[in-house]
Amino acid sequence: MKYLVFFYCLAHILPQSLVGVQQVVQSSASDVVTVYRNNNCRYRTYGNCRVRSVPCPASAQCHLTAPVVQQQHVDVIQQHVDVPQVVQSHVDVVQQHVDVVPLVQQHVDVIHVPRQTKRITACPQGHYLSPDGTHCKHIDCDVGFTFSDEYLKCVDINECERHVCLHDESCINTHGSYICRKICTQSGYRLDVRTNTCEDINECIEGTHLCGSQQTCINRPGGHECQCPPGFRLNGPHCEDINECLHSHACPAETSYCNNIPGSYRCVCKTGFKDDGSGKNCLDINECLNGNGGCSHLCINKFGSYECSCPKGYELSPDGRTCLDVNECAKYGSSHLCPPETSNCVNTPGSYVCDCKLGFRDDGSRKNCLDIDECSEHTHLCQQKCVNTFGSYKCLCNRGYRLVDTHRCEDIDECHEGDFINSVAYSRFKSDSGRPQLCQGHCENTLGSYHCTCPHGYKLQYDHHCVG
- Percent pLDDT > 90 in the chain is 48
3-state secondary structure of 16: coil
pLDDT value at 226 more than 60: yes
Average pLDDT over residues 32-37: 35
Q: How far apart are CA 183 and CA 160, in angstroms?
A: 15
Q: How far apart are CA 437 and CA 162, in angstroms?
A: 164
pLDDT value at 229 more than 80: yes
- Percent pLDDT > 70 in the chain is 72
pLDDT value at 170 more than 50: yes
Q: How far apart are CA 240 and CA 210, in angstroms?
A: 17
In terms of C-beta distances under 8 Å and separation of at least 24 residues, what long-range contacts does 146-150 make, across chains too? Answer: none
CATH number of 412-467: 2.10.25
Type of residue numbered 385: K
pLDDT value at 91 more than 80: no
Phi, psi of 206 (to 5 degrees): -80, -5
Query: Contact 235/212 with Cβ under 8 angstroms?
Result: no
User: Which is more confident, 153 or 24?
Assistant: 153
Q: Which helix (H) or strand (E) holds 360?
A: strand 360-362
Phi, psi of 195 (to 5 degrees): -105, -5
Architecture of domain 244-285: Ribbon (2.10)
Q: How far apart are CA 435 and CA 165, in angstroms?
A: 159
Closest Cα partner for 407 from 399, 396, 415? 396
CA distances from 399 to 88, 382, 387, 421, 437 (A): 199, 15, 15, 8, 18
The pLDDT value recorded for residue 300 is: 96
Residues 6+ apart with CB under 8 A from 269: 255, 256, 275, 282
CA distances from 115 to 52, 71, 83, 214, 445 (A): 21, 13, 19, 93, 198
DSSP 429: B
- Identical fold for domains 244-285 and 412-467, yes or no, is yes
Query: Contact 98/20 with Cβ under 8 angstroms?
Result: yes
The pLDDT value recorded for residue 417 is: 84
DSSP 204: H
Average pLDDT over residues 254-269: 94
The pLDDT value recorded for residue 416 is: 85
Q: How far apart are CA 456 and CA 248, in angstroms?
A: 127
pLDDT value at 5 more than 80: no
The pLDDT value recorded for residue 154 is: 87
The four Cα atoms 86, 91, 93, 94 give a dihedral, to 10 degrees, of: 50
The pLDDT value recorded for residue 37 is: 36
| Mean residue pLDDT across the chain | 76
Q: How far apart are CA 349 and CA 466, in angstroms?
A: 80
The pLDDT value recorded for residue 152 is: 77
Average pLDDT over residues 162-176: 91
List the beta bridge partners of residue 179. Answer: 172
Entry pTM? 0.37
pLDDT tens-place string over residues 327-359: 999 998 877 899 999 999 999 999 999 999 999
pLDDT tens-place string over residues 40-81: 333 333 333 333 344 444 444 443 333 333 333 333 333 343
pLDDT tens-place string over residues 271-301: 999 999 999 999 999 999 999 999 999 999 9
CATH 2.10.25.10: does it fit domain 330-372? yes
Query: Contact 204/193 with Cβ under 8 angstroms?
Result: no
* pLDDT confidence band for 140 (50 / 70 / 90): confident
User: Which is more confident, 416 or 104?
Assistant: 416
Per-range mean pLDDT, top range of 39-43, 69-73, 154-158, 376-380 = 154-158
Architecture of domain 289-325: Ribbon (2.10)
CA distances from 240 to 63, 162, 227, 267 (A): 88, 59, 12, 21
Average pLDDT over residues 4-11: 30
The pLDDT value recorded for residue 345 is: 94
Q: How far apart are CA 54 and CA 105, in angstroms?
A: 8
The pLDDT value recorded for residue 411 is: 93
Residue 230: CB atoms within 10 Å:
8
Average pLDDT over residues 299-307: 96
Closest Cα partner for 256 from 234, 271, 237, 278? 271
Per-range mean pLDDT, top range of 133-137, 309-313, 433-437 = 309-313
**Domain range summary for the chain, segments of one domain joined by +:** 1-140, 244-285, 289-325, 330-372, 412-467
pLDDT value at 375 more than 90: yes
In terms of C-beta distances under 8 Å and separation of at least 24 residues, what long-range contacts does 309-318 make, across chains too? Answer: 311/350, 312/350, 312/351, 313/349, 313/350, 313/351, 313/352, 314/350
pLDDT tens-place string over residues 315-329: 999 999 999 999 999
User: Which is more confident, 100 or 457?
Assistant: 457
Residue 107: CB atoms within 10 Å:
14
